Structure 1
């Protein structure tokens, strides 16, 4: 038979399928988008009959006979074959011990995950049966996510066992007809993409926060080591959450998205945050959509915006209204949404998923029916996304929230802290739904004790009469020849950094920089950036960090709003057109006069400003937060002397210059004799 006669249909991909296809082709060794469901079967199980029922299942659903073509790169196609050869892999383990059986099963599952799929050849589904005894089997069902949603597993397993039972009874398999997946593709192609694009552009207008999660670190190894921490909400708390849902007339997903949004706001000192949410994507206007097998899900942004004085309940009700308005456009591709946003591909770093139809629960409900004469036990589901962190919400009498993460990027103790913060916010909003946003705290009582009492207990001990640059100069005197900064093979000693900073500080003071006057710094992560920070402080001024990745409009607003008079830039970032004050290029050799290497006489006191950092405001305009020398000195001293963690010899400067934590990284190194290691922005975003 020719290739043409073997093809039943051809059509385009959904936006989500396109993203999965390109990612899979770019990283063929990755196990991202690999789905695996496994479970034990107890009873008399006929593997041959089960294989026949699988053949009928593949004939029944076009997506299970689908492969993907990149023959035209600009227009990839999914090709439905008339026939797709499918065979169950079977192994008999009954001759080996129970303990060795379990070891082999785990090894087999792991090996199966790494086997992957060839999207251009198929089949994109595998089923393996490992027999443990005459009445004990382990079934492993794997597929590529590009074929179907995880929730489709309950549908296909239900159907395959229905047909299995019919075949055992020597009946012809008979199930109600299904709607082919192409009907959904047709529906998608008829949607108004221009209206959807306009909606999402309005939805994200003015948002430019570089959102951060605590505990993220440089990737420790290649690959993905999947781990999870689970928050089990009690029955009583679940009942209270459900009462709040009825009171506010919102959905469970909106309520939990709101709670997570509040946690993110507290982490980022912002009243405006965005994260991703996975939607089912099954349009109700397509007949038979609930029983259709295929990939329908999509990821869309969720924006949580509140003012500090608003109540939680008011914000919750507004979020529900926005969710209703978004629903008609939730089919629009995420990558197109990102392109229209100011943050581009940096818009979404993690997602929240709601398992509205828990697969395990659905499978157990069907497979435990008496007429099957089989018992299903120990259902395990494995899936991997391309996000290093995501939340899975599982409903039930006790709602559970699974914090799943890549252990090469996050440490378990940090995820445990996040779990605790979410639990604490839940406690507050279920007991006091009208609590003002500004009064919601993410800190547990133990953490409050550490922050309020232990932290303030340093009041008599910390060097309250010292500024940041004075403490740095003291460290230079102690370790002049020690390496202070390492950047791509370049190594600068404490003495050299100090001299360069003094030269620039002398120049800035001649320009008129004085106490509490702001100097903008818009320089890529490099030794120049660190030297410029120290120089501004030594000159007597305070610095205004400006992330070169920020949109021009945000940079211009921050410069004007702060009334900054001077702007330090590097060769790579010449934005003088945005600035009416004096632009100082760090590559100008006149800035570094060889005779001006001594420490300047300080003109600042601990109560003077060290820096001003801007966070996203509630009106779309950033707002500046002023940090004095004594604030940072107190914090650094507490971290160095009141924690049990040994001070590291090397510290990585990882976060962006616009994020407050970056200055803890910088000064906790330079004020305590550590090596500060810098990396390019490209390297940071790749980790």
Structure 2
């Protein structure tokens, strides 16, 4: 008789996890999940081990190995029999045993991809460490298995769950063309990926650091009431808030991140009792309009995501190929709402031959992803937030700051959901002081601080503090701070143009001081005259509405003159920072197609633009020199 019971295809996420497991077999496998159960009372060890063996008999997919056919197609091979993955140790260091189990890689070709270790702490005190590869189970399935395990240990025979194979068959029946079209529409027009760590490629995976925060019962209640009044879900507010945080981090108004979906189709009978990997990670695209209110944004996000609900089964790799941009995101969110009923499992009943009852005194779980930032939210009387971060690229202090900002966003939703996005302020008092004072001390800012919408993180080093599960201090009753000036997301005032508004100010106060930079002081009239001269020079070089003009200037009054002159000419300002490598500056020039470069130095990098020197140094634009003549001083 063949040792194989069945050969099955892989679900979309199983395919992704299979790829990650084979990509670097020497690196840690972050997709090793774990559940630790704390047991108190008399324990029949043999009965518990037999219950584990029964789980493997009841669920064929738990006996699967994963291999590739000769054509490269991955499949899961269901074996008729596998050895019970069981061992027992006596030690007080249960945490060390659990860490050791997490560090041991699974060989996907050697089933079963799960292990049980019973740790004997003391008489009547044990911990059962259940470790599995994520390719077998999702977070919903793990507590289902725990409930079955305790029922089997107590001598009961739980009703048979529908087999995972039924879900794979359901997947094969779905309308692939309709799903592809729906995702194509959802991602149409996206300009590029949303990456918080663009240079992550090539780094080996690493165990994540973890920071946590808990909302107060009062704040959780107020947030729940606001969402209920507007028919919004908790997952919607998490996704909308994360999108706003990403917009501030990346400077984009069209962001994408990963969202974990349950993947359990309601039309499949008994799907809520099935054991296997059903979840999928799909892109969540959110466009930010500063004039929209918080409630308006959340309602729109919920509507757009609802339209995609029937197409959550399509694999992420295939979805990301549609816009042709490669990986679209490197952050993700998940709402962990799993059916682990500790009360129901609290008394497991006596095993055969045991006196009294075995009690589940507690449980804890561990999982991870390869993303540099992953947000997990657990509902309850106090909403729990956990931000996993890669400590090699995002230090713990930065992760704490991000989680505190997210908490302030949730407070803003609970306090005033009709507040326009432009009036949100996510900076703490220290961060606001850093932006308003530390960055404006008259010195040239560093490249990271000049371009970053958040305070620049400390440099990454091997001495980064280790991750900890200690809670982040977030005062539950702290009021939402007043809007900063300017607000984090700003809406242009209803004035005509910058040039027109400036002309009105010149007319009102021509002799008032407008710019001070070191020993240089310009009145509004003087600033207007210098800007007009430069604007006419730019116009003579072909600058018109929407024509990009590159600017490479040291911080000085010339920056104000150039910015105003470009606005007067109708052009678009393209900053080039002198701290960039030459290749980067050349790329900016080529990518924007700027035909003119305004500078106060010899550029020192390759470009094809006309050069306008503000320091009087040679060479000015050859075209400007050839057409030299009197330059007017009037407003263009």
Q: Please give the TM-score of this superposition, normalised by the length of structure 1.
A: 0.65
Query: What is residue 343 of structure 2 aligned with on the other side?
Result: 365
Task: Give the deviation of 1:315 after TM superposition.
Answer: 1.6
Q: Determine the C-alpha separation between the residues in 2 that align with 1:514 and 1:341.
A: 33
Task: Give the deviation of 1:18 after TM superposition.
Answer: 0.8
Query: What is residue 428 of structure 1 aligned with on the other side?
Result: 412
Q: Determine the C-alpha separation between the residues in 2 that align with 1:343 and 1:122.
A: 37
Secondary structure of 1:351's match? strand
Query: What is residue 61 of structure 1 aligned with on the other side?
Result: 59
In the superposition, relative to structure 1, how do residues 44 and 122 fare at CA in structure 2: closer, same or farther (>3 Å)? same
Is 1:177 aligned to 2:160, yes or no? yes
In the superposition, relative to structure 1, how do residues 542 and 184 fare at CA in structure 2: closer, same or farther (>3 Å)? farther
Out of 38, 41, 46, the position equivalent to 2:39 is 41
Query: What is residue 442 of structure 2 aligned with on the other side?
Result: 462
In the superposition, relative to structure 1, how do residues 338 and 45 fare at CA in structure 2: closer, same or farther (>3 Å)? same
Q: Determine the C-alpha separation between the residues in 2 that align with 1:33 and 1:589.
A: 46
Q: Determine the C-alpha separation between the residues in 2 that align with 1:258 and 1:332.
A: 23
Matches within 5 A, 1:117-516: 117-166=106-155, 174-213=157-196, 223-345=205-327, 347-357=328-338, 359=340, 362=341, 364-369=342-347, 371-372=349-350, 373-452=357-436, 454-455=437-438, 462=442
Secondary structure of 1:344's match? coil
Query: What is residue 632 of structure 1 aligned with on the other side?
Result: none
Query: What is residue 12 of structure 2 aligned with on the other side?
Result: 15
Task: Give the deviation of 1:197 after TM superposition.
Answer: 1.1
Q: Determine the C-alpha separation between the residues in 1 that align with 2:212 and 2:280.
A: 24
Q: Comparing 436-445 with 70-79, which one deviates more in the overlay?
A: 70-79
Q: Please give the TM-score of this superposition, normalised by the length of structure 2.
A: 0.70
Task: Give the deviation of 1:581 after TM superposition.
Answer: 5.8
Matches within 5 A, 1:530-541: none
Task: Give the deviation of 1:109 after TM superposition.
Answer: 1.9
Out of 597, 601, 606, the position equivalent to 2:616 is 601
In the superposition, relative to structure 1, how do residues 570 and 242 fare at CA in structure 2: closer, same or farther (>3 Å)? closer
In the superposition, relative to structure 1, how do residues 423 and 358 fare at CA in structure 2: closer, same or farther (>3 Å)? farther
In structure 1, runs of 5+ residues without a counterpart are 94-100, 167-172, 470-507, 522-531, 544-559, 604-687
* Residues 114-143 of structure 1: per-residue CA shift (max 9 Å, x gap): 221111121111001122233121211111
Contact preservation (8 Å) 1:217, 1:409 = no
Query: What is residue 648 of structure 1 aligned with on the other side?
Result: none
Task: Give the deviation of 1:539 after TM superposition.
Answer: 12
The structure in which a higher percent of residues are helix is 1
Contact preservation (8 Å) 1:31, 1:384 = no
Task: Give the deviation of 1:448 after TM superposition.
Answer: 2.9
Task: Give the deviation of 1:377 after TM superposition.
Answer: 2.9
Paired residue total: 501
Secondary structure of 1:401's match? strand
Q: Determine the C-alpha separation between the residues in 1 that align with 2:198 and 2:385.
A: 20
Task: Give the deviation of 1:368 after TM superposition.
Answer: 0.6
Task: Give the deviation of 1:341 after TM superposition.
Answer: 2.2
Q: Comparing 154-163 with 82-91, which one deviates more in the overlay?
A: 82-91
Secondary structure of 2:223's match? helix
Q: Determine the C-alpha separation between the residues in 1 that align with 2:68 and 2:445.
A: 61
* Residues 543-597 of structure 1: per-residue CA shift (max 9 Å, x gap): 9xxxxxxxxxxxxxxxx98499x9x9999979989969699xx999999xxxx9x
Q: Determine the C-alpha separation between the residues in 1 that align with 2:445 and 2:102.
A: 55
Task: Give the deviation of 1:40 after TM superposition.
Answer: 2.3
Is 1:114 aligned to 2:129, yes or no? no
Q: Determine the C-alpha separation between the residues in 2 that align with 1:367 and 1:588.
A: 68
Q: Determine the C-alpha separation between the residues in 1 that align with 2:547 and 2:442.
A: 26
Contact preservation (8 Å) 2:205, 2:370 = no
Task: Give the deviation of 1:599 after TM superposition.
Answer: 11
In the superposition, relative to structure 1, how do residues 83 and 310 fare at CA in structure 2: closer, same or farther (>3 Å)? same
In the superposition, relative to structure 1, how do residues 304 and 601 fare at CA in structure 2: closer, same or farther (>3 Å)? same
Q: Determine the C-alpha separation between the residues in 1 that align with 2:167 and 2:390.
A: 33
Task: Give the deviation of 1:108 after TM superposition.
Answer: 2.1
Q: Determine the C-alpha separation between the residues in 1 that align with 2:203 and 2:592.
A: 41
Secondary structure of 1:260's match? helix
Query: What is residue 674 of structure 1 aligned with on the other side?
Result: none
Q: Determine the C-alpha separation between the residues in 2 that align with 1:119 and 1:571.
A: 46
Query: What is residue 90 of structure 1 aligned with on the other side?
Result: 88
Q: What RMSD in Å do the two structures reach over aligned CA positions? A: 4.1
Task: Give the deviation of 1:600 after TM superposition.
Answer: 5.2
Contact preservation (8 Å) 2:141, 2:275 = yes
* Residues 50-109 of structure 1: per-residue CA shift (max 9 Å, x gap): 11111111010011111112133432111111222214211234xxxxxxx22xx33322
